[in-house]
Chain A
Amino acid sequence: MKVTKRSILAFGALAVTSAIALSGCASSTPSADEDSSGKGAAGKLTVWLDAERVDALKGAADAYEEKTGVAVDLVGKSVDDIKDDFIQQAPTGKGPDVVMGAHDWLGELSTNGVVAPIDLGDSADGYLPVATQAATYDGTVYMLPYAVENIAVLRNTKLVPEAPKSFDDMVSKGTFVVEQGAEGNPYHLYPFQTAFGAPVFGTDASGSYDPADLQLGSEGGFAFADWLAAQGEAGTLNTDIDGEIAKQQFLDGTAAFWLTGPWNVAAAVDAGIDVAIDPIPSPTAEAASPFAGVKGFFVSSESKNKVAANDFLVNYIGTEDVQLELFKAGNVLPALTAAADTAASDPIIAGFQTVGADAVPMPAIPAMGSVWQYWGIAEAAVINGADPKATWQKLTDDVSAAIK
């Protein structure tokens, strides 16, 4: 008797869960089917995007459905998962039609064959040059850019009213903080590295990065390493200062200068600090160029609705109104020049835009993965007192070995 009762309970659990599991695989299969047959309505576009930007795109999605009959399904996802999920799911045919991402994913996405080229047509001239450059990989455009992001120096105008003229000038006027961490942070130190004339990769005739031309180990690279060591010794750069500590020091007024991106401006303004955006003071006579990160949308190579996807991106997301909506959601400079000019009425955005004029796109080539792997750790070691020459040489050797 007892046996029967228990077995029925166990059996009930089995029934429920297997039903869930089976209906899970069952329901996903026909939905892929629907897309391929595409009969009835003009189809559906599934867009994966950063969960914080779903609302900004809602208007454009609705307007698009009204005009063309193509429903746009906006799926908010965590920024950390989008790229890997997309690479894994696109080949199975279950991925989205359109995915939002950053231009430096392009190397990986294109090498995995999961993105389809898009054609900006004549609208290409309407974007900031750095945006179109970043959207192009190996001569082909794959991304519709919507925002350009770069770092700049935030200055507390109460502590230091005048913009500094050089790096040494800045350090003498007030405390400078920049996010580092135990493994360094080469992204935030890159402006200083370029000031020493040592970009990571050289560029070929078309302006694309050339993985064969590793400039990291050039003479400028070693000069930069020496400079890092000197700053580390002087305490200007400190690997114990992570993002949170840097933020805290700037917010409570301990630091007058903070090298960071637009994503941190709101925190500073909310804390009641009068912020000015300055170009990054160079430690040399050359300009200090930060990396530009360009955000945009990709079309999946496995999408069954590429035509609608292209149309939605180029003719809807690529308009000033939508770009401004996205700008409002993220406060990052729009990639479309007309929208960028409108957004730049805000002095903070204008400040970042000025700095961005010197910015260079972050290399998207897959070889960059090998660079990131060793780069920060080597820089952190130099800042913490390791021999700059030997450490930098080892970095160059490790990276060239990994790229091969």
Chain B
Amino acid sequence: MTETMEQTAPPTKRQRQAAQIAEAAATPVGWMLLKILLLGIVDAVAVYAAFVLFANQEWLVLAVVIAVTAAVNYIYFSRRRVPAKYLTPGIIFLVVFQVFALVYTGYIGFTNYGTGHNGSKPQAVSALLASAQERVEDSPVSPVQVVEQAGVYGLLVTDPDTGDALLGTNDEPLREVDAQFDGGSATATDGWRTLPLAEVFSLSSELEKLSVPFSDDPNDGSLRTPDGQSGYLYISQLEYDAAADTITDTRSGVVYSDTGTGAFTSDDGEQLLPGWQVNVGFDNFVRAVTDASIRGPLISVTVWTFVFAIVSVASTFFLGLLMALVFNNTRMRFRNTYRIIMILPYAFPAFLSALVWAGMMNESFGFINQVLLGGAEIPWLTDPTLAKVSILIVNLWLGFPYMFLVCMGALQGIPEDVNEAAVWTAPTRGRSSGASSCRFCW
């Protein structure tokens, strides 16, 4: 159909439309249904994802999901976007798996992400406060029961010394109450509902905030129950002032404030860790070039990376080419057997080969020194220079079969008569046939 049209004059707009309708009509119904079904699946997943994202208030991701779904629907329902139909899946995967990872990695480079700056600021504050709880020395462990009254949680504590029942909440210090006892520990008191352990476990976040003052004097500490069953007396060493955004060390009185460096910092520059993640601009990059202890290794590693890349590509290519030329000679017997042997290093898993080579290159026990070199003590892997040479050798061994295959394919693409011509002209120029074939494969 298209062929006949190409032979005639360029089609007019009407003709093109007519052709499209004809083509669409020619599409089997089955394919059309499959297309609708697959698009339906994509849309169903996208709608589900949109609901979840909406519920979690992830607006940016939600917008991206909607936009991409709309674009996909448009592209595949449209009759015109034929190139886009080919490119869309690839582009989506490229963005998700490559571009996003690259951009995100680049972004991390501009933050202080690392040990001590791992999470967000609220996480850092709660972690600091949690670890600042210090057990009051020689304080006893008391059995506790979590109780509730009108949404307020309290601790029903049994004094381990006297056996008395005490009750307190976040706002009210412990006071003595009448209670029912079971096996020496108070289990219930009037007006308060005793919570079963299973319910206590489900109230984890409430219990973390539950800290009952022991008395009116804050220095006596307060009672907390990490496991919902035993109470321990703690004194907090740090106090967070949410309004001023500062943390105060209650012992030394030092005030730590948020100075924008990603951690609470005192006036002396002392930091409380954990801190949190902040943007630091080009600091990391500046440090990489100004700090001598980083700059030196950075430069030498970069240089070595390039040396390694160039030398290993060049060495594997030329060895592979040489081998391909040698084994391309039709007069050789068992040519294919040799070729198969040549490719073997490529067939072994690389990590296996690397392990075997590491063993062979061991200075005192390795095969190379012990057997091949008759007990020599060459530090193949421990001398800084020789180790680099060893890596290049091993990489040559691992890499040349690939180049061998590539060159062999190229050589076999050269027509026989060209080869013959090269052989005929070669002697007059004093060159071998190998060298001139080499030119062809360039």
Contacts and interface: CB of A to CB of B under 8 A. Distances in A.
B227 A307 contact: yes
Contacts, number: 197
Nearest to A69: B198
Interface stretch (A112-120, A320-328, A336-344): A112-120
A13 B45 CA distance: 14
B42 interface: yes
The 10 A-B residue pairs with the shortest CB-CB distance, nearest first, are A113-B274, A91-B119, A113-B127, A14-B89, A42-B198, A7-B85, A240-B364, A112-B118, A308-B201, A311-B227
Nearest to B41: A15
Contacts of B280: none
Interface residues of A, number: 76
B86 A30 contact: no
Contact of B199 (A1, A30, A42, A118): A42
B141 A122 contact: yes
A121 B223 CA distance: 13
A245 B118 contact: no
B311 interface: no
Main secondary structure of the interface of B (DSSP, over half): helix
A310 B141 contact: no
A145 B119 CA distance: 26
Contact of B23 (A1, A14, A25, A142): A1
Interface of A: 1, 3-8, 10-15, 17-19, 21-23, 25-26, 29-30, 33, 36, 38-39, 41-43, 68-70, 87-88, 90-91, 108, 110-114, 116-119, 121-122, 138-140, 142, 182, 238-242, 245, 301-308, 310-311, 314-315, 366, 380, 384, 401
Contacts of B202: 38-39, 42-43
A211 B281 CA distance: 30
B397 interface: no
A304 B27 CA distance: 55
Contact of B89 (A11, A117, A118, A182): A11
16 contacts: A3-B82, A10-B86, A15-B38, A26-B45, A38-B204, A39-B202, A88-B118, A90-B119, A108-B115, A111-B273, A113-B127, A241-B364, A241-B365, A245-B362, A307-B203, A401-B293
Contact of B362 (A22, A29, A138, A240): A240
A4 to B, nearest CB: 6
A305 B86 CA distance: 48
Given A117-B133, A119-B226, A307 B115 contact: no
Interface stretch (B7-15, B228-236, B335-343, B424-432): B228-236
B19 interface: no
B115 A111 contact: yes
Nearest to A6: B86
Nearest to A308: B201
